């Protein structure tokens, strides 16, 4: 079975027109609703299944909200909550329309400058009521606007980690938009993923939460490629416990890298038993390489082309690790 | 002829999903386009003509962008420009689809903290290329976020006033969103309209620009109702030139007040020769009063119910003043 | 009996020289005193009675501190307290000098950024020791300097509301100075009054405090004139309970409008049973209209000229509502 | 002849009530006037001459505005100008009422964050029209509110220095209020005087403006007492030109120290040929020492008690240096 | 015996290279160590004893960290702690190498914006483990960077005062660096010492903590020289208890003034029973006066040259007061 | 010949004690000097040659200042200049002591918030007077303190690019310290290198400056590993000109990656003709892997172990590309 654990909401424009209205009114009209028609939603799902999943042979895709749309740095807090709910609802509808093909991963209504516990009601709703299988965490709800967010190894996040362990749900690390005028949201993903790993390793977060399951998107940012630097940096402190590699292998990683050299390096460095198949299809990588004519996010053939990987390595990536990390995923 | 000079874009959700995408990407994907289909647009126009204009007997409506959507305080500047253009384009399409029923009033790509001249290219495009008949000015592109914008009587605005006079176009004063956590955009309209009048009167702007045509939305904010206060306040300074009333009558006003007592007071205070019919239909006032069963924005019967008004008074409001102020409006 | 419930301190320049000294020293000299001589005070009172009250037929005037002088945004907090006390003391002296003609309304030593409870000692002193009949609240102790003050519907104010109910005293809503470089204090009164109503209606404050008595100065800011807008805006949410009009009629209003059209509209919209006579004489309206030769704040004849008002309507305004709202006022 | 070159405005409370009104209105009422009656002013002058000057044997006193009242950090700029003008006018009236006993020293309408040239019109008015003999400079128009003002050796001040030399007028260094919550204006005088000397010495300002005449109030702040520290600090850099003492003796100093040990030290360190008699009577020092029964600001006997001083030393202090530094002072 | 109670660490460059590394890494490398070799340290001590203490006849010097190096305003807090510990350790090494000649005074790891209690562990370590005899307090851990630190009379400092009394240790008041671009650290010492006295006198801190022992460096800043000003300012408030002089004599002072006129004034004003010998040798005053050829910090001959001082006066300064204030100092 | 183009100053602690002193005094003592003795310097060089270069077979190393020490965000600007000069001088001394083994790469005295031209004098001095062969640019002189620095594709940098081309010198991109409390300087290197590439590609900087030579440290940050993401992101815009790969190959890269998988990926993605040998020995990578017993920065054997590389590939990396990019390097 091919499980693509990194996909995002497919929804008609009404969902984002709703967001636009929330931002324009700053919530003055009350919660309202995105008014997504059933037909529009069904058309989206049908199209997505046919043109994105079936074409590349994906059996199941996990859907989380489009991260860069989540507007975590906007105020007042209620509009962030309302929009996160609307996104999660749209995902729930997709799952309902094609229950064998989708699973939900909850986007959190994170807000800059407030306790992480404010997201718990929506986690409960998504996991318990909507049947979602995991959550997605934005390591910087300030969205690169200049105020530093506590690192992922800081106590700010501990109540969330406790809740994740208690509910046995993993989290996908994925930042949202980026308001730094000299950066882009897409590049900021990589920065924040790298920082997440470094912060959690520095703070020895897994010593406190050994059962915590953190999946770092996009192949772990810059870390596997730059691992020599971190081996040296942390080796001095953690030599006795096995060094940086031991710590790094406490994280999980997806395969949203879009180039075979990167995937090859990732699997060599962290091992296939920490990696999961993910494509974000359709998303950033939905681009046809003019030279090869292939879609960059059609990653299955790329993975299959890595000659040193065993069948179990591939099964790890395509199915086993995901099943292990997401115990709420049942066929 | 009944001319409603205060209407806003009717557009399918795609327009606002486009805005949402610009905000999420902060322009990193380039300009792109809202992808509004011709069918969607035609359906909108048809529906609007039938259910909004025809029902209440409006012959022509002037369309400007939905003000609260214009996101003037967002950065980088280019996404503000792109969205303003998209809104103006949607209006141009409406006008093209129903050329006898609509005219365009350009939304400006105003940005907080930059010269007003940055809007001039879009003014030229709208007036010269798209055939629009006026513009809409937001007196606070910071959108209530705490940094004070120069008052409308300040030199900051003078290049725009010169351009308006040179092109013989009037401007509708209408603020956008409001980020003050304790206010609402709708209420902020009234605040900024009041402040516009006070700032321009204080600075004696019309002494410098006697041919400037400024239309204050929503019946002039609080000014006509509170006129005694301003008569006293300014009377001490301007007594020799006729006092506050003389200054006030250099502005124009629309009738977007939604209650007959307010309209009555407005016409008494400023005279029907400074007032124009406007409804914002559909908009804030599109609400059926549960007691009367009437739509609040169906203002024509309200105006016709004011017994002291002469036929010419009514013609002033419904047609003549608008024709005079908008010379680019031709049948 | 004609009761003018909106008058302000008459005091010799020494009171304001005291304020000036507090600001210059920032309290470094200790509390000190304004050193108002008894003769100076007696002369002020005599002059005020003769030239302001007697001339227009006012029997009793309620005196509160000159709002725009209260310097609530200044620091340190103690100088704000000292000056508020001095103002209230000057009022107490007036009342003592002419006990049948004056009553005191306490100015509060509100300070930006501190709990509202810090004003309670002064409230107790004024009501219990000095025999005042009510208080005056500034909805924005930041005085328009850019930091948003919690809206009047926010919990920040609840301890004060509880205290008011417990002591059975009403509050006059009246802002102080305005430091926004593009606004004026006089205009900011209107803005903050409007916002007070909108904030309290939005938060349904009167559901929590049904016995709270709030008097909105200057005829309610912009609200009665713009009521159509708010009927539509709130009607969607409160339709079941009677809509915006029902909520609006939970407030009280004064008549400091200075023009008969405004008064007429106010009484029609909210009813004379929510309105009180007030003139702020001498104050903003103490201006002789060059055309009519009448003082703008001589409002009694204006009110008497509204033909549709019954005797009871006028008695409501001139006496009955004030008596009802200020139970501590006894002849 | 005894010339006391450091006195401040004596004015009735109306002057400060005017300031209070300017702050309350932020200039919204226009310039207005302090409305000081001639009688009040004459009474002040008479009282001051009798009880302050005659009693201690002062022949002539130079009057500058009360520094701590000058509100240089307030906005908008126009209210700072208006109040400085009013203070200077009050001084001019004193001089007019007692032309043999007073001379004027102009307070400058300095404003934080604007060019020093904005004060030039008022300098011209005071020197040329009102016949004043010098000016008073506040080294920190931000009044200790946290934003650093360029040091007195910085180019910011050079246009003023050029003007002073061109008009042949000296300046008294004297800060105004202090908004630092943990300091007092009175103590801040000393801090800013010390910093003025250090900044100008560090920048070698007198190399650029050898004819500049700067009088440091209150005996030069902390510098004469701490001179060892500065001799060491600057000696390393300026040894070749004579060290810190040579630089220090390019300044002038007044005698507003209120204790004989301080005066003794001052005259020893800087020499009597750089020192002038000043008392600020009435002011800070107008305090009767409970042990001695003497007024602290009665400095003449104190100076006369310093046994090592020659007649010429005393004449330097009481008359000659002041005559030399203020060439516009004529009998 | 000559006890110089104001000396600072002598350490090889490695100590400051360590600081530089902490600032560069912001603590990312962990605590590390300054790696000061024993030989380097011994050479420093030998040289200091021979060339600084022996030459001028000092028997014992108390060493505290070089204040301007303490970087209290830097973040994160841990690097401030680590460097303070390293400085104190270097002092402890000096004391160990020459136990009859040195004593330690602990530099505190003060950090801007955190409770003063965060320094307690280091106080305990220095006093209890390293045998130090007192502590040094920086009144402004923000180091002049614009945010005001609570005055020394504020409750912020009370826990420290309680601890000092409980442990019977005195504190030397001495600020660190100064980030104000228009000031210097050396001058800021004087400013903050002056402010310390004024703040504690204003707050009557010694009423609450009568046994608190505070030593103000550099002869008390500007206070003794400007005492007339403070006598007047505080006399009005404290006359009944003896006035400012009584309050001032609750502090102790050192003699780091570098000029005999200043010392003479200091001893006259506060009495020799509140003064201690201190030189900061080597430090700011280690400068040879080109005229006299004497080192400015060779203060013993200067003090001995003051003719009015008795033998006991000199013994007070050179030995007795220090012994009394530092009871943990034993021969 | 083996040329290691990425080494940093070796200097005795005095250099950093000098920095520490500059920060403590904020320049108040003047420029001063680090006082590095010739012996200390010679010992450093001898040790470095023997233990770092000779041991691993490096023939020549290019030395630039230790980046994380450069304190570009500190104020005032002059201390940043003085320290950069001292670092460059220390490098010049090394080169002088071992002219066949070292070359200098100038650290720039970049300061946050000032024009890049302020660094030109030091560039001239280093290249023309000291014979250095290139420069090092910090893309973020604010050092991660929250204020965004213009991206490397912004016009802010153009004068520097013009100067580099005119002088025919390349620049090594390398950030300095990082003040973000949740990041580390070492990790921030990677972030800023990635952003440099993205900014310059987005702005098409090489279209304007085709001869500009930019070397991105540490193997290009995250870019080669994440190249699929950027191919997709930029492919849409630059497809016609060859896409992201063509743009990426306009940069040069060093080999400071410390793990063979990373080096392998780098050479595959960008080609050996854009890569240079660099080790930063001694530096971050000077760490002995406990498992292998090898030093992580001994990269030559790692590179030689990549089996697919040809002799020319290795010669490219070890010598040819460096010679081509640094034309001022002569044997």
Which pLDDT band holds residue C210 (cuts at 50, 70, 90)? very high
Evaluate if residue D242 carries a pLDDT over 90.
Answer: no
pLDDT at E279 over 80: yes
Q: How many CA atoms lie within 13 A of F191 on its CB side?
A: 25
At residue C242, does pLDDT exceed 90?
A: no
Residue F303 Cα to chain centre, angstroms: 20
Q: How many CA atoms lie within 13 A of F43 on its CB side?
A: 7
Q: According to the model, what pLDDT value does residue F240 have?
A: 77
Whole-number pLDDT of residue A275 = 98
Q: State yes or no: pLDDT of F242 exceeds 90.
A: no
**Predicted confidence band of residue E239 (pLDDT cuts 50, 70, 90):** confident
pLDDT tens digits, residue range A282-303? 999 999 998 899 999 999 999 9
- Hey, are the CB atoms on B16 and A20 less than 8 Å from each other? yes
Distance in angstroms (rounded) separating the CA atoms of residues F27 and F75:
9
Q: Which of D317, D69, D114 is nearest to D215 (CA)?
A: D317
Q: pLDDT tens for residues A192-225? A: 999 999 999 999 999 999 999 999 999 999 999 9
Q: Please state whether A242 falls in left (phi above 0), alpha (psi between -120 and 50) or beta.
A: left
pLDDT tens, position by position, C87-115: 999 999 999 999 999 999 999 999 999 99
Interface test with D, best of E154, E175, E190, E236 (most D CBs within 10 A): E190
Map tokens 């307030």 to a residue.
D74
Q: Å from D275 to nearest chain B CA?
A: 48
Helix (H, G, I), strand (E, B) or coil at F7: strand
The tokens for C5 are: 């419930």
Chain B CB contacts of F236 under 8 Å are 29-30
Chain D meets chain A (3+ C-beta pairs below 8 A): no
Closest-approach residue (CA) in chain F for A181: F148
Residues of chain B neighbouring C219 (CB-CB closer than 8 A): 225-226
Order across the sheet with D214-216: list the strands. Answer: D3-8, D60-64, D102-107, D134-137, D171-173, D214-216, D252-254, D275-276
Closest alpha carbon to A171 in A53, A251, A52: A251
- Give residue B70's Cα distance to chain centre: 13
User: Rounded mean pLDDT of chain B?
Assistant: 96
- Predicted local distance difference test score (pLDDT) of residue A237: 80
B interface with F, Cβ–Cβ < 8 A, is 28-30
B73-86 per-position pLDDT tens digit: 999 999 999 999 99
Catalogue the E-assigned strands of A24-87. 60-64
CB contact under 8 A, E269 and D261: yes
pLDDT for the residue B238: 79
pLDDT for position E199: 97
**Distance of CA B185 to CAs A28, B67, C52, Å?**
8, 10, 41
Residues 6+ apart with CB under 8 A from A165: A209, A211, A212
Please, which pLDDT band fits residue C84 given cuts at 50, 70 and 90? very high
Mean pLDDT of C183-191: 97
Interhelix angle C227-238/B185-202, rounded to 10 degrees, is 170
Give yes or no for residue D238 having a pLDDT over 90.
no
- Residues B211 and B216: their CA atoms lie apart, in Å, by 16
Residues B130, B100: contact at Cβ < 8 Å?
A: no
Q: What is the mean pLDDT of residues B164-176?
A: 98
Q: Which residue of D has its CA nearest to B199?
A: D28
pLDDT in tens, E31-71: 999 999 999 999 999 999 999 999 999 999 999 999 999 99
Residue E274 · residue E251 · CB < 8 Å = yes
Average pLDDT rounded to a whole number, residues F291-298: 94
Distance separating alpha carbons of residues D120 and D123, to the nearest angstrom: 5
Q: State the pLDDT at residue B291.
A: 87
pLDDT tens string E116-147: 999 999 999 999 999 999 999 999 999 999 89
Could you say which DSSP state residue D76 is in? S
DSSP assignment of B260-324: HHHHHHHHHHH-GGGEE----SSSTT--B-TTT--BTT-HHHHHHT-TT--HHHHHIIIIIHHHH
Confidence of residue C294 (pLDDT cuts 50, 70, 90): very high
Give the rounded distance of the alpha carbon of C22 from its chain centre: 24
Q: What does pTM read for this prediction?
A: 0.97
Residues found in chain F: 331
Question: Residue D260 above 90 pLDDT?
Answer: yes
Partners of residue A61 on adjacent β-strands = A4, A102
Whether the predicted pLDDT of D240 surpasses 80: no
pLDDT category at B241 given cuts 50, 70, 90 is confident
**Top-ranked range on mean pLDDT: pick from B218-222, D28-32, D240-244:** B218-222
In this predicted model, which residue has the larger pLDDT, B235 or C315?
Answer: C315
State the number of CA atoms in the 13 A half-sphere of B249 facing the CB.
14
Cα A103 from Cα A91, distance rounded (Å): 8
DSSP class of E62: E
F305 within 8 A of F243, measured Cβ to Cβ: no
Give me D175's structure tokens: 């800060």
| pLDDT at residue E291, as a whole number | 87
Band (pLDDT 50/70/90 cuts) for residue F61 is very high
| Rg of chain F over all Cα atoms, to the nearest angstrom | 19
Confidence check: pLDDT of A143 > 90: yes
Under an 8 Å CB criterion, which residues of E touch F? 12-17, 19-21, 23-26, 28, 66, 68-69, 71, 75-76, 177-179, 181, 184-186
Tokens of F55: 């041991």
Which residues partner with F107 through β-bridges? F136
Q: What is the pLDDT of residues D49-65, one digit of tens each?
A: 999 999 999 999 999 99
Average pLDDT over residues D123-137: 98
Mean predicted lDDT score pLDDT of chain A: 96
Looking at every residue in chain D, the average pLDDT score rounds to 96
- Region E243-260: mean pLDDT is 96
Edge-first strand order for the sheet with A3-8 is A3-8, A60-64, A102-107, A134-137, A171-173, A214-216, A252-254, A275-276
What is the chain F residue with the closest CA to D199?
F28
Q: Do C218 and B229 touch (CB under 8 A)?
A: yes
Closest alpha carbon to D249 in D257, D238, D261: D238
Helix (H) or strand (E) holding E215, with range, is strand E214-216
Sheet architecture: strand order including F60-64? F3-8, F60-64, F102-107, F134-137, F171-173, F214-216, F252-254, F275-276
Nearest CA in chain C to A29: C233
- What tens digit of pLDDT does each residue of F82-107 get? 999 999 999 999 999 999 999 999 99
Angle at D24 between CA D22 and CA D29, to 5 degrees: 55
Residue E273 banded pLDDT, cuts 50, 70, 90: very high
| Residue of chain D whose alpha carbon sits nearest to that of F29 | D233
Contact: D257, E228; criterion CB under 8 Å: yes
- Of residues A184, A226, A297, nearest to F190 (C-beta): A226
- Quote the ipTM score: 0.97
Residue F239 and residue A290: Cβ atoms within 8 Å?
A: yes
3-class DSSP state of B102: strand
In the prediction, which pLDDT does C180 show? 96
User: Using CA atoms, how far apart are residues B39 and B33, in angstroms rounded to an integer?
Assistant: 16
Query: How many of the other CB atoms lie within 10 Å of CB of F211?
Result: 10
pLDDT tens digits, one per residue of D162-208: 999 999 999 999 999 999 999 999 999 999 999 999 999 999 999 99
């Amino acid at each position: 079975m091919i499980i693509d654990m990194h996909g995002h909401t497919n929804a008609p424009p009404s969902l984002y027109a709703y967001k636009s209205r929330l931002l324009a009114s700053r919530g003055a009209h009350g919660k309202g609703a995105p008014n997504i028609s059933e037909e529009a939603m069904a058309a989206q799902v049908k199209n997505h299944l046919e043109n994105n999943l079936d074409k590349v042979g994906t059996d199941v895709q996990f859907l989380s909200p489009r991260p860069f749309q989540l507007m975590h740095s906007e105020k007042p807090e209620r509009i962030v909550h309302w929009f996160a709910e609307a996104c999660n609802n749209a995902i729930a509808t997709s799952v309902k329309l094609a229950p064998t093909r989708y699973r939900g991963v909850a986007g959190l209504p994170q807000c800059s400058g407030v306790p992480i516990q404010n997201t718990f009601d929506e986690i409960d709703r998504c996991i318990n009521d909507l049947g979602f299988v995991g959550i997605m965490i934005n390591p910087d709800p300030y969205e690169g606007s200049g105020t530093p967010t506590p690192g992922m190894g800081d106590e700010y996040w501990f109540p969330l980690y406790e809740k994740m362990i208690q509910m046995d749900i993993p989290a996908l690390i994925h930042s949202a938009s980026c308001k730094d005028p000299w950066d882009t949201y897409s590049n900021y993903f990589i920065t924040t993923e790298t920082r997440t790993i470094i912060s959690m390793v520095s703070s020895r977060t897994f010593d406190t939460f050994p059962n915590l399951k953190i999946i770092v998107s996009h192949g772990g940012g810059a870390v596997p490629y730059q691992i020599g630097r971190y081996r040296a940096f942390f080796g001095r402190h953690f030599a006795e416990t096995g060094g940086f590699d031991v710590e790094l292998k406490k994280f999980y990683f997806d395969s949203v890298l879009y180039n075979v050299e990167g995937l090859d390096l990732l699997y060599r460095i962290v091992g296939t038993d920490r990696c999961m198949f993910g494509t974000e299809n359709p998303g950033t990588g939905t681009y046809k390489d003019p030279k090869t004519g292939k879609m960059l996010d059609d990653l299955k053939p790329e993975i299959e082309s890595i000659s040193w990987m065993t069948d179990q390595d591939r099964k790890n990536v395509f199915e086993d690790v995901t099943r292990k990390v997401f115990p709420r995923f049942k066929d």
